[in-house]
Amino acid sequence: MSDPLFDLAGKVALITGGSRGLGLEMVRAFASRGADIIIASRKFDACEAAASEVRATGRRALAVAAHCGVWGDIDRLIELAYSEFGRVDILVNNAGKGPAAPSHATSENAFDSIMALNFKGPFRLASQIAHRMSEGDGGVIINISSVAASTPLPGVAVYSGAKAALQVMTRTFAHEYAPKVRVNAIAAGPFLTDIARAWAAEAREHADNALGRPGLPHEIVSSALYLASPASSFTTGAVLGVDGGWA
């Protein structure tokens, strides 16, 4: 028997970066608890594969190819989502990237690309959907941030700055679109998603946190469900660390 606090039946969730990694884990978890899902990322085939998984559970799903750092693509994504489902109840701003490079060697294009995907795009998507939610029946927004937002990690200054901005945006939107819209963030630590394949073997086995290891992708699920569901009805403007106890 499902717990009513974590019941998403009848809800519509839009998850960016939902075709792999942490995003795909959230897609699966939300669908298994009754939500219909909109999956957005750059590659349509990957989105459609994830959407097929959702449909196999009996839920509806829409795959949308979109660059989540480009406002034109984001606006098209919003229109497709509302045209297909009529509303969005849960938004997860998960798409992001943070390639490491010496700060003095960072090009303008690289700077703009990192900022666009990690802050500019989520700002556009969250602001537009939060406005619609506030004029309708309300909703929930979850921004996926990083421990990098508050930890000095050499080589990722731009990414860290973008994620710090995302956390400030989370708190601001929690007030700007209250009381009908709740806005929270997850500050994720190192997770063994597909990007971890490029890590050194030591980094895949150990981490500088209390648990001494990276997280497994499914370990983000309970926190995401908490913030997406009625279980967190009195939680907004929060940044929840899911990082194994980061130093």
CATH number at residue 155: 3.40.50.720
- What pLDDT, on a 0 to 100 scale, did the predictor assign at position 75? 98
**119: which residues sit within 8 A by CB, 6+ positions away?**
162, 163, 165, 166, 169
Q: Is residue 247 included in any domain, yes or no? A: no
Residue 158 lies in a domain: yes
CB 47 within 8 A of CB 245: no
The pLDDT value recorded for residue 198 is 77
Rounded Cα distance between 174 and 101, Å, is 33
Q: Is 205 within a domain? A: yes
d(C-alpha 147, C-alpha 215), whole Å: 13
Supply the residues annotated as catalytic: 159
- Residue 28: inside a domain: yes
Question: Which residue, chain included where needed, has tokens 């959230």?
Answer: 26
Sign of the four-CA dihedral 242, 175, 77, 108 = negative
Residue 108 lies in a domain: yes
Do the domain assignments include residue 144? yes
Q: How far is CA 169 from CA 145, 174, 192, 208, in A?
A: 11, 8, 27, 27
- CA 206/CA 154 separation, integer angstroms: 19
> What's the structural domain count of the chain?
1
179: DSSP letter: T
Tell me whether residue 92 is in a domain. yes
Q: What is the side-by-side order of every strand in the sheet holding 61-65? A: 61-65, 36-41, 12-16, 90-93, 139-146, 181-188, 239-242
Containing structural domain, residue 225:
4-242
Query: Coil, strand, or helix at residue 62?
Result: strand
Q: How many whole angstroms separate alpha carbon 63 and alpha carbon 41?
A: 9
DSSP state of 118: I
> Strands, DSSP E only, in the chain?
12-16, 36-41, 61-65, 90-93, 139-146, 181-188, 239-242
pLDDT of residue 247: 65
pLDDT in tens, the chain (247 residues): 467 889 999 999 999 999 999 999 999 999 999 999 999 999 999 999 999 999 999 999 999 999 999 999 999 999 999 999 999 999 999 999 888 899 999 999 999 999 999 999 999 999 999 999 999 999 999 999 999 999 988 999 999 999 999 999 999 999 999 999 999 999 999 999 877 787 789 989 999 999 999 999 889 999 999 999 999 999 999 999 999 998 6
User: DSSP 3-state helix, strand, coil percentages of the chain (rounded to 5)?
Assistant: 50, 20, 35
Q: Where are any strands of DSSP class E within 29-148? A: 36-41, 61-65, 90-93, 139-146
Interatomic CA distance for residues 236 and 170, integer angstroms: 9
Give this prediction's pTM: 0.96
**Residue 172: enclosing H or E segment and its boundaries?**
helix 157-176
Whether 46 is in a domain gets the answer: yes
Q: How far apart are the first and last CA of the chain?
A: 38
